[in-house]
Amino acid sequence: MLKIAVFGAGTWGIALARLLAAHGRDVTVWSAIPAELKALATTRRHPNLPGMELPAAMHYTADIAEACTGRDILVFAVPSPFVRATAKKAAPHIPQGQLIVDVAKGVEDKTLFTMSEVIEDELAKQKRTARVVALSGPTHAEEVARDMPTLIVAASAQEDAAKAVQKAFSTPTFRVYTNDDRRGTELGGAVKNVIALAVGIALGLGYGDNAKAALITRGNAELARLGLAMGCKPETFAGLSGMGDLIVTCTSMHSRNLHAGMLLGRGKTAEEAKAEVGQVVEGINALPAACRLAKKYKVDMPIVQSVDAILHGRLAAGNALAALMGRDLKRE
């Protein structure tokens, strides 16, 4: 039986933990918040995943050394701002060559590293090596928790590592593909959240499906331009972790980033929007790094830059689409 530890007891971490435990994996959930673990163990429920019951066989621990010991796979499912701190805390207890799966989506603002690169960087500081695979795609936790059909990508330049994750995570309702473009896969998972904010802003302003479709497709063009400038593969952005993740995040009622964007379009501040959503809004976290990447690689990303201008008060939400529509005419 595969032994898997999941770091993080948020909606995505718990949805994945339940999926794995329900299909015969020995799963332990680690969290830095003991009260959170106690509630999960006692109620076998997660407050943000109504109707989902956790298997009785799942284990819980606040001891990160215990979580790292004797595991076939370690899964990083903490919010992106906490990935580095979690990796630093776990590193002394992680065996050399450990298989690690990152499901957090984001780009670190200070270093411009993807989350897998953050994990590798922190492990290297403590002279640890690992096989780090990014697992990303159009995967709302609410649907995975209900065993609704879901497709996702395990990305790594090490084919054996990607295939090991594919085998470990695949179930009759959770189909895992592999690719070797980890950076492109992670970039799609981070930047799509910013585009979802833009779509939400448009909807909050009362715009319709035409504007939504335009922002999704032109947003994907921005993502692909950035990815190509960073050495990623173009096909990645037409796949599950690119266009697939972008579509679901920009259209789903489950999307926190879409919801936050709608609140921004209705005049809320970023802090007010985050408070009303009540969960992590990764698009707001990813926005500074996305803007810095665009500048570093000299890539034109007008939608991303418009969202940044709105959040920082340089542009009124109601004027943003007019500014985009008024750009110089050009070939698609």
Catalytic residue ranges:
192
- 105 belongs to an annotated ligand binding site: yes
Q: What separation, in Å, do the N-terminal and C-terminal C-alpha atoms of the chain show?
A: 51
What's the number of CA atoms in the CB half-sphere (13 Å) around residue 21? 22
The answer on whether 147 is annotated among ligand-binding residues is no
Running DSSP on this structure, what letter comes out for residue 328?
P
Is 8 annotated to bind a ligand? Reply is yes
DSSP bridge partners of 178: 154
- Give the position of tokens 């992680």: 94
Contact status, residue 142 vs residue 166, Cβ threshold 8 Å: no
Is 86 a known ligand-binding residue? no
**Which letter does DSSP use for residue 255 in this model?**
-
92 burial type by CB count under 10 A (0-12 exposed, 13-18 middle, 19+ buried): exposed
Whether 257 has a binding-site annotation, put simply, is yes
Judge whether 48 is annotated as a binding position: no
- The residue to which tokens 């090596």 are assigned: 129
Q: Is 225 annotated as a binding residue?
A: no
Contact of 173 with 148, CB cutoff 8 Å: yes
255 labeled binding residue? yes
Q: Is position 141 annotated in a ligand binding site?
A: yes
Contact between 176 and 154 (Cβ < 8 Å) = yes
Q: How many Cβ atoms from other residues are within 10 Å of residue 327's Cβ? A: 9
Length of the chain: 332
245 labeled binding residue: yes
Q: What is the Cα–Cα distance from 194 to 133, expressed in whole angstroms?
A: 23
Q: Is 11 labelled as part of a ligand binding site? A: yes
Q: Is 10 annotated as a binding residue?
A: yes
HSE-up of residue 69 (Cα within 13 Å, Cβ side): 5
280 is in an annotated binding site: yes
Query: Are the beta carbons of 284 and 292 closer than 8 angstroms?
Result: no
Enclosing H/E stretch for 30: strand 26-30
Specify binding-site residues: 8-13, 82, 105, 137, 139, 141, 192, 245, 255-257, 280, 282
Q: Binding site membership for substrate: which residues? A: 105, 256-257
Annotated binding site for sn-glycerol 3-phosphate: 105, 137, 139, 192, 245, 255-257
